[in-house]
Amino acid sequence: MSLIITETQDAIGTIVMNHTAKRNALSEALINEVTVVLDAFHEQGIRAVVLRAPAGTKVWSAGHDVSELPDKGRDPLGWADPLRVLIRAIQEFPAPVLALIEGGVWGGGCEVAMACDILVATPEATFAITPAKLGVPYNLGGLLTLMNMIPLPIAKEMLFTAQPIPTSQALNLGVINYIKPADAIDAFVYGLAAHIVANSPLSISVMKEQLRLLSSARSITPELFERMQGLRRVVYDSQDYEEGLTSFREKRKPRFQGN
Ligand code: YXS
């Protein structure tokens, strides 16, 4: 049974993440379906994509599928990790991807939403970035996505507390473009998409790629890269990382010891 629902109309493609039983946890299976559809949309010349969950959902995405995070000793968010593959697929898709957000957005789900080009959320939506809750070491690309989207003090608050922030704060920070009520958000998002579709797809796809390249342009020395990787290894080699995954599986609060 498919984990997503897709539709195309007037050069606008829609992807509904529909694995509601697992709160749209970003499993390899769900991500594979999304990336296959993005490739098909590219073939079809789709000029705007809307990424959403079912209307009225309480959870847009619960983030990385925790059951697929590797045991300690292996980088849990390496280049080939499905979540990283999805982030790149959205960022490199040659047309704008609009996130239509209802419900809670958790962990890697925030990064997926923030990888989108335009974000519109209902007043009830929330955003929580949660590696600290699970003892997960965030990766360079993920931190860069957040740093490009969120002022550092707020990014630190979200990373260190792992607590959700409301859409009102996300709007104030410029993390999302609009807040629209649930009974108006569909028409508003598809109205934005219609404006995009009526403009030059070549101009838009080139500007999107230029902005992606410019926003990720950072001079990182080999020493800096190796230091970052070394710091991350301390975490994913730790007992705390193992405790984070075990506590999730056992549906209990983690007891982190700091080693
Ligand atoms: O017990 P069953 O089999 O019915 O499954 C439950 C949950 O285990 C499952 N589920 C997940 N499975 C894998 N990975 C997940 N992230 C995940 N989240 C949920 O879905 C079934 C229903 O979950 P339940 O009963 O908790 O639903 P709820 O409506 O009471 O609560 C919804 C949530 C989203 C508030 C709750 O499920 C939750 O807190 N989920 C975990 C959110 C989270 O911490 N995500 C971060 C994942 S790690 C990640 O994204 C990155 C690696 S990082 O941390 O670095 O950002």
Confirm whether 255 is domain-assigned.
no
Confirm whether 241 is domain-assigned.
no
Take residue 258 and report the two structure tokens written for it.
Answer: 């700091």
Confirm whether 10 is domain-assigned.
yes
Q: What angle do CA 47, 51, 56 make, to 5 degrees?
A: 135
Query: Could you tell me the distance, in angstroms and rounded to a whole number, from the CA of residue 23 to the centre of ligand 1?
Result: 7
**What is the C-alpha to C-alpha distance for residues 34 and 97, in angstroms, rounded to an integer?**
12
Q: What is the mean pLDDT of the chain?
A: 95
Take residue 102 and report the two structure tokens written for it.
Answer: 């209802």
pLDDT tier, 141 (very low <50, low <70, confident <90, very high otherwise):
confident
What is the torsional sign of CA 64, 1, 92, 114? negative
The total number of structural domains in the chain stands at: 1
Name which residue sits closest to atom 9 of ligand 1, judged by CA: 22
The residue from 13, 107, 138, 142 that is catalytic is: 138
Active site annotation includes 138: yes
Query: Model's pTM, two decimal places?
Result: 0.96
Question: What pLDDT shows up at residue 71?
Answer: 85
DSSP-derived 3-state class of residue 21 = helix
Task: Give 67-123 as a DSSP string.
Answer: GGSPPTTS-TT-TTSHHHHHHHHHHHSSS-EEEEE-SEEETHHHHHHHHSSEEEE-T
* CATH number of domain containing 13: 3.90.226.10
The residue from 64, 104, 107, 109 that is catalytic is: 64
Confirm whether 248 is domain-assigned.
no
Query: Could you tell me the distance, in angstroms and rounded to a whole number, from the CA of residue 62 to the centre of ligand 1?
Result: 5
Confirm whether 208 is domain-assigned.
no
The residue from 104, 108, 109, 244 that is catalytic is: 108
Confirm whether 180 is domain-assigned.
yes
The predicted-structure confidence for 190-234, as pLDDT tens digits, reads as follows: 999 999 999 999 999 999 999 999 998 888 899 999 999 999 999
Instruction: Identify the residue whose tokens are 């931190």.
Output: 143
Tell me, using a 6 A CB cutoff, whether residue 110 lines ligand 1.
no
Question: Which residues span the domain enclosing 52?
Answer: 4-195
Query: Could you tell me the distance, in angstroms and rounded to a whole number, from the CA of residue 234 to the centre of ligand 1?
Result: 25
Question: What pLDDT shows up at residue 248?
Answer: 95
**Quick check: 185 pLDDT over 90?**
yes
Tell me, using a 6 A CB cutoff, whether residue 65 lines ligand 1.
yes
Q: Provide CB contacts within 8 A for 186, sequence distance 6+.
A: 55, 100
Confirm whether 253 is domain-assigned.
no
Confirm whether 151 is domain-assigned.
yes
